[in-house]
Structure 1
């Protein structure tokens, strides 16, 4: 017999699919998401058609057209995203046509797979809990569709099973070897967040208006001074007169350790970075990295990069020396001494400055004095600049953000014959004392200068000259009240929301460190600690006990009940007077005898006896349900049934 799909099950499927579409929006073009939603809305008018064949034809034609559009755009979306799009299309078409219960088999299993795919795009604890809730809703829908109607979901037994399997699951998570994936997901062309490979006037000020998290840092020792927290991410060496770009020189260095010529233990810092998704390889490091984790590798200009674009939250360990950056390749000075014909006024100014400076240090001091004494201003909203942007900034607007000052300083140094380049990254961060980690957001994005002197690339931050509070106290301290309001979202002006949001971020941090950050190296350390402490046998014993408890629980579940369901009901509600029933007496005889002592309840007892006989000897499930209902409704009356004390004592 065909069973129609219930409205509740259909509603659950709609909720789950809509949530999956929202979660997987990164893999879906906007037009495709809109088409899926329109298809779901199309279900109602489609149901008005009387012919099932016509419905199927219409949906097949629509699906074929959508598939053709997806094939045309596959080069933009990527193979993996294309696979997800095909699965979503199949689920949506199935949900539009589904009417009967047996049609939901494929729908359920594809939903399970799509929910698992959501973990590829998200690692935060809140989204993970949302995905888990959707998975539980899918499991509940599965149960409601195919479980026997006579058996209700036993939450107590389910809770016991979860408690029994929880220690086994935790032990497997901690001790089971981390296996490398058998296949890798192709990288799709996705939007890049964070610093780009090109830097022009306006790049940094646009980025700092985002309050998104860039990364977190955990230090093995004490926190370095804020003036040392310059997180290098990009080095810009190519200048075209307006914009700076990353030079695509090839770095032949192999992954491993780099050693400095004059190591200084006091200037060495060990730390862990938890980087957020950026869909690019560039990572963050202080000073000169000398030791690397396996998940990262050294890049040109003593930067650090991931082995593949960061499409998931990434944790890595570094050891850095907070000193000048050594020369990386022989042509590095020549590469960073190139000038262009643009900005003629800046070239003249550089000649004047170098004439008054006796050394590179003197030239840096001359530039600092110029920014300090002349009317230059630090602003989040500088005026737009023309083609000769450096001339326009230095001689006309004199108002800019960190990228304006860094770019102008690097050009002045190059025109004066000093190799210089612009470095993009992040400066500072918010330190959380109780949780012991540094939180760095996109709003901490910064640009500064590195110039070559004394056999190394020295850091010079012109922003620290024009607005020292930016480096010492953070970006907000260097901005006006209006500019601070511009950066602050309206909901952040409420202290309660800020507090809740910060607590959620702390929770997400612990999730990242303890769960997402638990990799092969930490697992190996755990094994070594267990072996050294002699706790491995105790842990295995605990696993054995847990396995035995699980076996006992499953064996107990397979055993048939000692009494039939009708007998259990009678024992529950007649327990007070049932002790007076002789062992060999038939239940109907006992009821007849009970009627003689409770004349007011004769009809009730007769009805119970009739339903009991049908449920026990005719295996009538409807009678069993009516018996249970009858007993529940008259529980108080049954509890007051009389039995003569003398007769009871005689028995």
Structure 2
């Protein structure tokens, strides 16, 4: 018999599909999401229209046109996103036509798969709980559709089943081998967040206006001084007169081996990074990364790079040397002395400063004095610069952000013949003492300079000269009230909302450390610990078994020679009862007392007494053998004998 879907089931399926469209918006073009929503709304007028054949033709034509558009945009979306788009289209098309209960079977399984795919795009605890709630809601609808109407959901039994399966689930999570993903999520050409491969005036200013979380850092030892918290992410070595770009040598992704010396051990710091999704390979590290987990590797200029684009929250361990950055190739200094024909005033200033100094250190000091003594200003909203941007900044506007000062300093050094490059990353962060982690947001994005001197790349941050509070206390310490309002979202102006948001971030941090951060290396460490514990338990068990064996041997096998064999047998099998026998009492008298308290076992006790007397006093070997067999055969009965307390 055909069963029609009720209105409640149709509304429930529509809500689930709308939620999936919202959750998978990263994989869906905006136009495609709008069409899917309109197609869901098209179900209601279509339901009242003509025959089923006409409905099917209309939906098939619409789906075919949508599929054609998806194929045209396949190159931009990627194969994995295209697969999700096709599945979602099939689910919505089925939803438009569905009328009977048996038609919902395929729709349900597609919904399960789509909800599972949502976990690929989201790792935060709140969104994970939302997806789990949608999954449970779908399961409930599945039950409502196919369970017998007379059978009510047994919540108590369901709770017991969940309690029974929970330890199994935990064991699988902790101990089951981590499998490599069967596919890689395609990424966009540019980053979702973070620094791009080009840096020009305005790049960092735009980035710091985002309050999005970039990464968290957990230190094994004490937190380094804030002046040491320069998180390197990008190195810009090509300059065209206005913009800095990453050199093509970074595209080869050649792994470099960092040198380890005595200074490395002195200035070594160990920490864990939990980075957010960026769709980039570039990740963050302090100084020179000496040791990295297998998901991350050191590359040119001793930067850290993920082995695949960070499309999910990534956790990795780092050991860094906070001293100067060594050169990774002999041509590196020469590469970073190239200049352009632009900015002639800056070139003249660089030559003038170089003629006044005898060393690179003195030249750095002169540049610092220039920024300190002249009326230069640190501003989040600097004036726009023309074609010769460095000249315009140094001699006209004199107002800029960190990228302006870093770019101008690097050009001055290059024009003076000193190898220099601009480094992009993050500086500082907010330390949460109770939770013991450092929170670094996009607003901590920063640019500084590395110059080559004494065989290594030394760090120089001109921002620390112009606005030292930026390094010592954070960005808010150097911005005006108007600029701070520009960075702060309207909803963040309420302290209660800020407090709740921060507590949710702390909860998400623990979720990242304990659940998402439990990777192959931690699982391997857990197995090693379990292996060591199992060895210890095996040794302890062996010792216990050995001690029990020795005790049993001493108690039952090595009886003193003063006791004859019949006495040893009786003491062995009546050990718990024989302790009630007074010293000097005859054995037969003791047996008579036992018979009084255990009348049902009187024949057994009489037999034992008779054999005992013959074996002990008549020295009868046959009686001794019969006594041993009789006691052994009736061990269980003897253990049940009672003695009044």
> TM-score range with shorter-chain normalisation?
0.7 to 0.9
In the alignment, which residue of structure 2 is the partner of 1:88?
88
In the alignment, which residue of structure 1 is the partner of 2:640?
none
TM-score by length of 2: 0.82
In the alignment, which residue of structure 2 is the partner of 1:43?
43
| 1:302 lines up with 2:302 in the alignment | yes
In the alignment, which residue of structure 2 is the partner of 1:622?
none
In the alignment, which residue of structure 1 is the partner of 2:413?
413
In the alignment, which residue of structure 2 is the partner of 1:185?
184
Note closer, same or farther for the CA distance 1:250–1:278 as it changes in structure 2 (3 Å cut): closer
Note closer, same or farther for the CA distance 1:266–1:342 as it changes in structure 2 (3 Å cut): same
| 1:173 lines up with 2:191 in the alignment | no
* Whole-Å separation in 2 of the counterparts to 1:414 and 1:492: 43
In the alignment, which residue of structure 2 is the partner of 1:332?
332
* Whole-Å separation in 2 of the counterparts to 1:426 and 1:254: 24
In the alignment, which residue of structure 2 is the partner of 1:582?
none
In the alignment, which residue of structure 1 is the partner of 2:111?
111
* Whole-Å separation in 2 of the counterparts to 1:316 and 1:261: 23
In the alignment, which residue of structure 1 is the partner of 2:426?
426
* Whole-Å separation in 1 of the counterparts to 2:189 and 2:100: 39
In the alignment, which residue of structure 1 is the partner of 2:360?
360
Aligned-residue offset at 1:440: 0.3
In the alignment, which residue of structure 1 is the partner of 2:501?
501
Q: How does 1:172-571 map to 2 (within 5 A)?
A: 172-181=172-181, 183-189=182-188, 191-192=190-191, 193-249=193-249, 255=255, 257-534=257-534
Considering only aligned residues, what root-mean-square deviation do their CA atoms show, in Å? Answer: 1.5
Secondary structure of 1:263's aligned partner: helix
Partner deviation per Cα, 1:510-555 (whole Å, 9 max, x = no partner): 11111111111111211222232349979xxxxxxxxxxxxxxxxx
Note closer, same or farther for the CA distance 1:39–1:251 as it changes in structure 2 (3 Å cut): closer
* Whole-Å separation in 2 of the counterparts to 1:425 and 1:261: 26
Secondary structure of 1:339's aligned partner: coil
Cα contact 2:214–2:275 (8 A) shared by 1: yes
Secondary structure of 2:248's aligned partner: coil
Cα contact 1:16–1:134 (8 A) shared by 2: yes
In the alignment, which residue of structure 1 is the partner of 2:60?
60
Secondary structure of 1:127's aligned partner: helix
The answer for unaligned runs of 5 or more in structure 1 is 539-651
Aligned-residue offset at 1:222: 0.6
Note closer, same or farther for the CA distance 1:11–1:537 as it changes in structure 2 (3 Å cut): farther
* Whole-Å separation in 1 of the counterparts to 2:485 and 2:306: 35
The answer for unaligned runs of 5 or more in structure 2 is 539-645
Note closer, same or farther for the CA distance 1:521–1:235 as it changes in structure 2 (3 Å cut): same
Partner deviation per Cα, 1:545-592 (whole Å, 9 max, x = no partner): xxxxxxxxxxxxxxxxxxxxxxxxxxxxxxxxxxxxxxxxxxxxxxxx
Q: How does 1:2-17 map to 2 (within 5 A)?
A: 2-17=2-17
Partner deviation per Cα, 1:56-87 (whole Å, 9 max, x = no partner): 00000000000000000000100000000000
* Whole-Å separation in 1 of the counterparts to 2:203 and 2:512: 30
Cα contact 1:257–1:292 (8 A) shared by 2: no
Say which is worse superposed, 113-122 or 41-50, in terms of deviation: 41-50
Note closer, same or farther for the CA distance 1:97–1:73 as it changes in structure 2 (3 Å cut): same
TM-score by length of 1: 0.81
Secondary structure of 2:45's aligned partner: helix
* Whole-Å separation in 2 of the counterparts to 1:233 and 1:468: 22
Aligned length in residues: 537
Aligned-residue offset at 1:261: 4.4
* Whole-Å separation in 2 of the counterparts to 1:387 and 1:353: 24
In the alignment, which residue of structure 1 is the partner of 2:123?
123
Note closer, same or farther for the CA distance 1:144–1:537 as it changes in structure 2 (3 Å cut): farther
In the alignment, which residue of structure 2 is the partner of 1:30?
30
